[in-house]
Structure 1
Amino acid sequence: MTRSYYAPHGGHPPQTDLLTGRAVFTEAYAVIPKGVMRDIVTSLLPFWEGTRAWVIARPLSGFAETFSQYIMEVAPGGGSERPEPDPEAEGVLFVVEGEMGLTLEGARHVMKPGGYAYLPPGARWALRNEAAAPVRFHWVRKAYEQVGGIPAPEAFVTSDDAVRPVAMPGTEGKWATTRFADPDDIRHDMHVNIVTLEPGAVIPFAETHVMEHGLYVLEGKAVYRLNTDWVEVEAGDFMWLRAFCPQACYAGGPGRFRYLLYKDVNRHVKLKSPFAR
């Protein structure tokens, strides 16, 4: 199966472009379209060389509460020997363009488009772009919620091609999820999966649930229900959905609609808000 992963390249629009765009920020959801991921909104990170990042989600009252998500761009020769400053943070890397070398717990891995790595809290890892072109990848970070008597998951590296999608019941395979972590493994407190809908497939009800979501469209286009609105999205767009935000989808074709999906899972609800004073 041929796979496609959209990656931003930055740049800057000409003065002749219209200002009107598709960006939306509400109390229930946000849409960051691919057209706003320009050079002037990138960030540099400590201890990363030859690297810039588009920060598309971060913990913020009224916005994402459980995770952050970056799109990283590392130039040839760039990378980091001290990538993660927070010893309590876990992470997922997902490559969308280029190639990079990941050293994880002493083992070296060459990661290409579709490559996936889970990084538990306190993991020893380093990353270097040893290729001739930039590498672009997603880095999802979350403060791991430790539970007494349950160890943190171990690190692992896999890929989109190596994991078989699981079809949703009653959909004849038209709606499927690529689950990189075992959904029954209670050690994991977040899942970063890939959802695939074939042309014309639907999420046929307004999902309304406690899990917060980050959705980055890897391929295709769709009409997405976000709270009370129907919004057109395409490859390169990012959506944030607050907990309990109603959501549904029609895949718009002519090709598959695929997105990288973050959600928090497998933990008791905190009874005190982290933003309470």
Structure 2
Amino acid sequence: GHRNAAALSGFKSAEHGGRGYSQLVFDDSDGQLRTQLATTQAYSQLNLGHLIHQQDNRRGSFRGQGFELRTDGYGAVRGQAGLLVTTYRDAVSGQTVPTGDNAAGIALIKQAKQLTSSLSQGAVTHQTAALSTAKDDNAPLAEQEKAALGMVDGKALDTAKQDAASGNTTTQGKVPHQGEAMAQLAGRAGLVAVAGQDLQFANGESLALASGQDTNVAVGKQARVHAGQGIGVAAGLSQAGDGNIGLQLTAGQDDIDVQAQ
């Protein structure tokens, strides 16, 4: 076996009139295969496989396994036809699946749609406004589900392009390919979005938040909800909550002020 500099091969260029360089490295160390495409410009690198520190032809300490795309400059990920980022395996059965496969993510989309639709119907039964995102088959949740279910021909490129343009969802002889330019994020164990200062979620039409169990909002100072039209609240649509409570509103100090002007 070999785990020394002799295991390294590749190509390294030199900057004209400077000390910078670009390099392509193949590391064939036993059980530690690695490929690196790197440049000293903004220290931009793509590292694949067994990740380690490397200085010239010296192999350094272990840093992880998988892939790393990094730069000290600006980074962008663009997909004109759509983007899928998922932590679900692409081959649970051991068989390679199409690049656009997002079966687990689509299952969660379906669950969210069903939950939202069910509670929306319950709200209407109790004479409260329905959720606009789940009113019918043309509502945003249904449209997003349809786009996620996109399928294209797996043999002929021209036919595949036609399928993508038409939003095809039939499966016979097809492979998964989302039907709209959506960015899909699917986390098997969860998703975390944090910011040291401000965090903004904004959209041009509708926003749907759905959770199979609990949704909690904790605010350190003040919370405001402003609506240009109406605000509807419906609780206990399936059963009463803990302590047989349907809707609870509590002020720890001072008054509760409700006005109609």
TM-score (norm 2): 0.19
- Structure with the bigger RCO (C-alpha within 8 Å, sep 6+) is 1
Larger helix proportion, structure 1 or 2?
Answer: 2
- Greater radius of gyration (CA): 2
Larger strand proportion, structure 1 or 2?
Answer: 1
